[in-house]
Structure 1
Amino acid sequence: MEPIIAIVLALIGYALGSAKIIHEGNAALVERLGRRHRTLTPGLNFIVPLVDQVVMEDTTREQYIDIKPQNVITRDNIYLEVDAILFWRIRDIERSFYAIEDLQGALNQLATTTLREVIAQNTVEETNVTRDEMNRTILSELNSTTADWGVEIIRLDIQRITPPESVRKTMEEERAAEFKKRALISEAEGERQAAIKKAEGTMTSMQIIAEALRTSPESKEILRYLVAQDYINASYRLGESSNAKVVFVDPGKTGELMKEVIAESVNTEGNGTSGEHG
């Protein structure tokens, strides 16, 4: 019985030693007698004890590397402090193990170097305006290298671009001046539109009055009344003004003034009508 028990225990030990459970989202790399053999997928796997060895188990899920603030010189010779986050994922676990010694360290150094090179090709203003474009450029350059490492760079997010205090102050002053310029342009445009509307309204009113005088002679009395009413209102406003001057007008000539205004309006309309018929 003892030999049987020993055999059973040996088989149990062999089974326990050969069974490898890989969790979901991970992958493992097996070497046989020191050479690359196969990759273990999530679930229950079996290897040959003493012959096979699991040399690496890593996640295939998305990971990130926090790139610490870096001092970068822009194209216009301004020092900037830039920090970013790199998101990446292992696509080929064999390459990630055999093609590079320190994968995360290499990714950190590569991302830092590429970030500096791309920002150095831009001015301070361009780094703020074209941040999304810089991210895409950096991502493309990184993936062209990391593909040989079995790694995919998912995205690189530039978190902060911090210029020196003097540069920040200058940029704020430039933005304030730009906002003020836009406000003045908008105000001038509004005044121009208002003046145009007012002129169009005045022209329309004169055309209506002239047409009424031409087609209905009795409307002259109405016009005379309106002109007199405007004259009285203007006199009131002039009297209420703090720097108003008293102007004396001969009451006997007021009617003549009204007639001249009416006659001039009628003649103007008449001349315009004659020109149209001609």
Structure 2
Amino acid sequence: MGIFITIIVVLILIYFFAGLRIVPQNYVGLIETLGKYSRTVKAGLVFIWPIFQRVRKVSLALQPLEISKYSIITKDNAEITTSLTLNYLVTDAFRYFYNNTDSVESMVQLIRGHLRDIIGRMELNEALGSTSEINAELSKAIGDLTDVYGIRVVRVNVDELLPSPEIQKAMDKQLTADREKTAAIAKAEGEARNIELTTKAKNNALVATAKANAEAVRTQADADAYRIDKLQNALDKAGEGYFRNQSLDTFNQLANGANNLVVLDKDDMSDLGKIPAAKKIWDKSNN
């Protein structure tokens, strides 16, 4: 009898210890009795009835998730490929585990649908340049919609938006053409500027030369005027004897010449008549 009781006690202890479960930190436990949810337990040591009950552990920690690349059509019918990353956490373990066969996949489909709607209302160039705006609008759009799955999205980010290879080639060609156009315009503007500066420099040189010539002519004219003025002043101050001496010098030079012609001033001609010999020659010449 004592052995039987001991066996029973041992079996009870084994059963008791077999029913002990540990729910880790930042987890909750969903207790199921005969396959039906009965209660939720927090982290720590938990007792369940083995065989009749089981514990499903659900993490409450922040979970990273990468959504693989998929295609979206923009408003102007351009195909782009996008990929996302997000962080989520479970806020309601019961909804997360029992209300959906795969709550995470349902959340991903919801986010994809909203992203298609947002980008589908944008043209290609607008979408490629509005990643921050798309992130903000997507976060606002999903809002609390994922609460139905017991999940809250903490952060969602569009990692890349890539046009299709055909569109990328067309964009590269357009970019090359724009660069060549910009370079041609810059070259033309540079040449025009160079011509403008060269013409301006030549004009400035011509103006400077003209000013220099005018200044030289003015200086020469001033010098001539000064010389004439001084000469005139000197002649005005000269006596009658100076001019008579000049006349005699001139007569001597003419007399020494090869011609027998003598030029005399009118007054000198009158005075020459006073010389007797000259007067006889003059009268004889008139007769």
Report the equivalent of 2:259.
none
Deviation at 1:127, TM superposition (A): 1.4
Report the equivalent of 1:75.
75
- What CA distance in whole angstroms lies between the structure 2 residues aligned with 1:73 and 1:39? 44
Give the TM-score of the pair, scaled to structure 2: 0.60
Contact 2:31 2:39 in 1 (8 A): yes
Which structure 2 residues correspond to residues 142-221 of structure 1 after superposition, within 5 A? 142-164=142-164, 165-169=168-172, 172=175
- CA deviations on 1:233-265 (whole Å, 9 max, x unpaired) are xxxx959xxxx89974464624999xxxxxxxx
Q: Residues 251 and 22 (structure 1 numbering): CA distance in 2 closer, same or farther, change over 3 Å?
A: same
Stretches of structure 1 lacking an aligned partner (at least 5 in a row): 192-236, 258-278
- What CA distance in whole angstroms lies between the structure 2 residues aligned with 1:9 and 1:121? 71
Deviation at 1:171, TM superposition (A): 6.5
- What CA distance in whole angstroms lies between the structure 1 residues aligned with 2:145 and 2:137? 13
- CA deviations on 1:156-196 (whole Å, 9 max, x unpaired) are 11111111313532664598599x69x98xx9xxx9xxxxx
- CA deviations on 1:40-65 (whole Å, 9 max, x unpaired) are 211111122233222x2221111122
Report the equivalent of 1:135.
135
Structure with greater Cα Rg: 2
Matched, 1:253 2:218: yes
Report the equivalent of 2:96.
96
Deviation at 1:99, TM superposition (A): 1.2
- What CA distance in whole angstroms lies between the structure 1 residues aligned with 2:159 and 2:177? 23
Aligned residues: 202
Stretches of structure 2 lacking an aligned partner (at least 5 in a row): 194-203, 223-287
Paired residue secondary structure (2:141) = helix
Q: Residues 52 and 174 (structure 1 numbering): CA distance in 2 closer, same or farther, change over 3 Å?
A: farther
Give the letter aligned to residue 142 of structure 1.
Answer: I
- What CA distance in whole angstroms lies between the structure 1 residues aligned with 2:96 and 2:44? 21
- What CA distance in whole angstroms lies between the structure 2 residues aligned with 1:83 and 1:77? 19
Report the equivalent of 1:2.
3
Give the letter aligned to residue 253 of structure 1.
Answer: R
Paired residue secondary structure (2:58) = strand
Identity across matched positions, percent: 22
Give the letter aligned to residue 141 of structure 1.
Answer: A
- What CA distance in whole angstroms lies between the structure 2 residues aligned with 1:175 and 1:29? 63
- What CA distance in whole angstroms lies between the structure 1 residues aligned with 2:105 and 2:172? 37
Q: Residues 155 and 248 (structure 1 numbering): CA distance in 2 closer, same or farther, change over 3 Å?
A: same
Report the equivalent of 2:119.
119
Contact 1:88 1:153 in 2 (8 A): yes
Give the TM-score of the pair, scaled to structure 1: 0.61
Paired residue secondary structure (2:122) = coil
Contact 2:60 2:91 in 1 (8 A): yes
